[in-house]
């Protein structure tokens, strides 16, 4: 069986493997990791902001 040698869409450079995400799985892990940190930030920031927003108002 002869399988002709074909050329890939793009040349894969040496450092491509280290700087590129190849699977949706890795993409999800990576983006959700950052998003979880942002979520933590939101949960800390919002109460403080609410305090700032309503500071000085009488209860």
Which residue ranges make up the site for other proteins (CB under 8 A)? Answer: 1, 3, 8, 12, 16-30, 32-39, 42-43, 46-47, 50, 54
CB of 31 to other proteins, least distance (A): 8
d(CA 48, CA 56): 14
CB of 55 to other proteins, least distance (A): 14
- Dihedral (C-alpha) 9, 14, 18, 21: value to the nearest 10 degrees? 0
Q: Roughly how many angstroms between the first and final C-alpha of the chain, as a whole number?
A: 84
CB of 6 to other proteins, least distance (A): 8
């Amino acid at each position: 069986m002869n399988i002709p040698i074909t050329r890939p869409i793009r040349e894969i450079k040496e450092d491509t493997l280290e700087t590129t995400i190849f699977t949706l799985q890795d993409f999800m892990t990576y983006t959700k990791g950052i998003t979880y940190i942002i979520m933590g930030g939101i949960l800390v920031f919002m109460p403080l902001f609410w305090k700032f927003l309503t500071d000085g108002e009488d209860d």
